[in-house]
Amino acid sequence: QVQLVESGGGLVQAGGSLRLSCAASGRTFSSYAMGWFRQAPGKEREFVATISASGRSTYYADSVKGRFTISRDNAKNTVYLQMNSLKPEDTAVYYCAATNTPYSSTYRRHYPYWGQGTQVTVSS
C-alpha cells in the first residue's frame, strides 16, 4: 500500500511563495510518476502538475505555468511543488497523487493513490 503525506501548506500574501512536499512510502518511489492536484471550495479537483518517474518529463496546467515548478528527489522518496507569484485564486487544498506507471499524466483517473491534502491560502 502506498502512503503519501503532504506538508508545507499555509497562509501567504499574494505574490509570495510556498514549497509543498510529499513524502511517499510503501513501494519503489522512483518507478512511478507523481502529480499535484488542487481543489478549491465548491469546485472540482483539478490538475496542477505532473512529473515522470525519472523526473525528465513535466507538465503543468496553463493556470500555473511559469509560476509553479514540480520536482522530485528519488533518493528521499519525495516530490515537491515550488509555488511562486501566488495569487488568491491559487487558494485550495493541494493533493499529492501517485500513478502506477512511469509516465506522467494530467488525468485524475490515472492516479490510484492520494495524500490527505494540505491547505494553501493566498490573501490579497
Residues facing 46 on adjacent strands:
38
pLDDT at 19 over 90: yes
What confidence tens digit (pLDDT) does each residue in 70-105 have? 999 999 999 999 999 999 999 999 999 999 999 999
| Strand 92-98 with 118-123, pairing | antiparallel
What is the per-residue pLDDT for 119? Answer: 98
**Whose CA is closest to 90, among 37, 34, 23, 22?**
37
Q: Residues with Cβ < 8 Å from 102, sequence gap 6 or more? A: 31, 32, 33, 52, 53, 54
pLDDT single digits (tens) 27-84: 889 999 999 999 999 999 999 999 999 999 999 999 999 999 999 999 999 999 999 9
Report the C-alpha gap between 48 and 35 in whole angstroms: 8
How far, in Å, CA of 71 to CA of 54, rounded? 10
